[in-house]
Amino acid sequence: MKAAVYRQRGVAHDVLTIEDLPDPTPGQGEVRVRVHASGVNPTDWKSRSGDAPMTVEYQIPNQDGAGVIDAVGDGVDESRIGERVWLFHAAWNRVNGTAAEYTVVPSDQAVRLPDSITFNQAAGLAIPYITAYGCLYLDGPIAGKSILIAGGAGAVGHAAIELAKFDGAQVITTVSSPEKAELARAAGADVIVNYREADAIDQIKAAALGGVDRVIEVALGANIELDLSVLRPAGSIITYAAEPTGDPQLPVRRLMTDNVTLHFILVYNFTQTQIDDAVAGVSKALAAGALTPLPEIHFTLDQIAEAHEAVEAGITGKVIVDIA
Ligand SMILES: NC(=O)c1ccc[n+]([C@@H]2O[C@H](COP(=O)([O-])OP(=O)(O)OC[C@H]3O[C@@H](n4cnc5c(N)ncnc54)[C@H](OP(=O)(O)O)[C@@H]3O)[C@@H](O)[C@H]2O)c1
């Protein structure tokens, strides 16, 4: 098969190459998937970059993707062959990421895809939507809750808006431009605030009398003042990203006084129950037609380095590598 590969970490153009590799064989409990679309997330370039030594001979990048099951290993029902699926965690502690013509994953990491959903949309589901689901439900049900989602035009932010609206929450989101506001509006946000405007805090307070119940946060240090200004007493902030500028200094006394709960989450370390709940929740919203793709930016497999660079540069929209 044709695959994108890196054999050492580093700058995208220096380390990513295209190679012919043997087609992978599904082992016990695994399925092989003919990949149609590979989604790129920040985690993919972060795993590839830096200078930490590799612990494997090579790595095929990209966690997310979508395609068709074409072979199954022992213990997997052969009726799955031919099934359209979306994939999660394909490259987590595994060499066979989705930037290749074939990948193999444990059977439960290949999730049935409704016929109405394109492979391109499906390749944008896993990391953003599973993360968003985990953040939203970390403190219990969200129906009727008021939730502030920072960065509503980002991949995780977009997913969080759609999942929260699907389950009946009030969604307030922040963006930094009119173009991003349009994306957040299309995702269904009730209130959209440009966080660069001087009265951003007042706009959020006016929309959530009594304060928001939860904040889903992408930039805790940059937004802690805003978050604490709009959070209700004993509310919670769920942070899913480390900031490139470094770790924030926290106003501990204020957090104590307001009885704020701070959570931090990493999708790779979700419990099996969190994963199962997220996959079921995302599948339900998908089947109901409640999830829409961000604008897609397409690259060929030969352009894998450019695809990684686009995400690394913070491009708005979903970067997809077309495989078949
Ligand atoms: N913990 C986990 O399991 C997990 C899972 C997925 C992603 N992540 C991490 O989460 C981050 C975002 O991922 P993504 O895929 O959603 O990236 P993305 O699509 O590039 O979105 C990032 C968003 O953050 C927004 N943003 C940046 N600074 C902000 C601020 N001060 N206030 C409000 N919004 C702000 C950006 O909007 P503006 O440019 O308009 O500010 C952008 O829309 C990455 O660092 C990624 O590695 C972590």
> What are the tens digits of pLDDT across the range 4-17?
999 999 999 999 99
Nearest atom within ligand 1 for CA of residue 265: 1
Pocket lining: 18 vs ligand 1, CB cutoff 6 Å: no
Q: Compute the distance from residue 103 Cα to the ligand 1 centre, in Å.
A: 27
Nearest atom within ligand 1 for CA of residue 243: 45
- Which residues are CB-neighbours of 156 under 8 A, at least 6 positions away? 127, 128, 131, 132, 135, 216, 218, 240, 241
Best mutation site among 40, 47, 156 for ligand 1 pocket (most ligand atoms within 8 Å of CB): 156
Closest CA to 27 of 110, 92, 104: 104
Q: How far apart are CA 237 and CA 129, in angstroms?
A: 18
Q: How far apart are CA 52 and CA 274, in angstroms?
A: 30
User: Over pLDDT 70: what percentage of the chain?
Assistant: 100
In this prediction, residues 294-317 reach a mean pLDDT of 98
Nearest atom within ligand 1 for CA of residue 153: 43
Q: Compute the distance from residue 242 Cα to the ligand 1 centre, in Å.
A: 9
Q: How far apart are CA 61 and CA 65, in angstroms?
A: 11
The one-character DSSP state at 78 is G
What would the pLDDT profile of 124-179 be if each residue is shown by its tens digit?
Answer: 999 999 999 999 999 999 999 999 999 999 999 999 999 999 999 999 999 999 99
- Return the pLDDT at 112: 98
Locate the DSSP E strands across the chain: 2-5, 17-20, 30-40, 64-72, 84-87, 102-106, 110-112, 146-149, 170-175, 191-194, 212-217, 231-239, 261-264, 296-300, 318-322
What would the pLDDT profile of 124-139 be if each residue is shown by its tens digit?
Answer: 999 999 999 999 999 9
Element containing residue 272 per DSSP (H, E) = helix 272-287
Pocket lining: 53 vs ligand 1, CB cutoff 6 Å: no
- Return the pLDDT at 54: 96
Whether the CB-CB separation of 226 and 201 falls below 8 Å is answered with: yes
